[in-house]
Chain A
């Protein structure tokens, strides 16, 4: 009996008798049906197939859940959930008072990013500052490089707060910006660092700063106080705190 090249379906020989044609067609049709079903085992909306370890036999994979993506598990396709990631706004608002404290910060992120825009102080020429967890001890160290249109320099500011930027202006529209990245803030095993970049639009001394801050504490950071040198009041500006995964 002859067979087809790819799937081995049985077909009549050239010498087969016509009277056996119906049976031969029925056998061939049955083979085609079996093979087609093996190649297309779908039963439900959204099903897809992939090749199994058996030749000419596919495996049905039912549709996944919303948001799932096609991935690989155990050497075969599978629907999987993408690990949550990205950036979430944890708090945003306006600076006010002698300090604006963002409290109850969730520890379920990897890093924090704090952006402060348009900071204005009640007293001129007071540095932008920050504290963690209400810690007023001398536990803050900062390495600062800064420059303006007349020169550059380095500075070592006081260490009972972290200097996040230059001296803020006291009136008018401020274009100051501070971008503060705090990696591993929820760790209880390591001391913390903060990468701080800022532009301060103080008219008397507009300054660009790039600082590395060090907070000598293994405590997880659960609150951040935005403040000013010499306890000057915060009279303008906004903040956004992001959690990053």
Chain B
């Protein structure tokens, strides 16, 4: 029975020019879930870095533009 909840991937065989749309297999699904987690963690890290930067600017009493000028 087909599990329709799985994401679809497109495979284009450059040798035969055959294009197949199919559900992810187990390995692809595992990689898909890992990628989402990795990217979520990376996004959180970027957001934290931005928040830390904003907090530091506030602490220093300067704006983003002034910080850029300062750093050249």
Contacts and interface: CB of A to CB of B under 8 A. Distances in A.
Q: A and B from one assembly?
A: yes
Given A96-B10, A104-B16, A134-B28, 4 more contacts: A91-B14, A97-B10, A158-B42, A230-B40
Interface residues of A, number: 28
Interface string A206-245: 0000000000000000000000011101100000010000
11 contacts: A91-B17, A98-B7, A100-B9, A100-B12, A104-B15, A104-B16, A105-B14, A136-B35, A230-B36, A233-B7, A234-B10
Please classify how large the interface on chain B is, using the bins under 10, 10 to 19, 20 to 34, 35 or more: 20 to 34
A223 to B, nearest CB: 9
Interface string A81-96: 0000000001101011
Contacts of B19: 93
Contacts of B12: 91, 93, 100-103
Interface of B: 7-17, 19, 21, 24, 28, 31-32, 34-36, 38-40, 42-43, 68
B35 A241 contact: no
B36 A231 contact: yes
B64 to A, nearest CB: 10
A78 interface: no
Interface of A: 90-91, 93, 95-106, 134, 136, 151, 157-158, 160-161, 229-231, 233-234, 241
Given A136-B35, A158-B38, A161-B35, A90 B10 contact: no
Contact of B21 (A91, A97, A229, A241): A97
Report, nearest first, the 6 A-B pairs whose CB atoms are least far apart. A104-B15, A98-B7, A136-B31, A230-B39, A97-B8, A100-B10
A98 B32 contact: yes
Contacts of B34: 136, 160
B10 A103 contact: no
A98 B13 CA distance: 17
A112 to B, nearest CB: 10
B71 to A, nearest CB: 12
- Most chain A CB inside 10 Å of its own CB: which residue of B8, B9, B21, B40: B9
Nearest to B36: A231
A233 B10 CA distance: 11
Contacts of A97: 7-10, 21
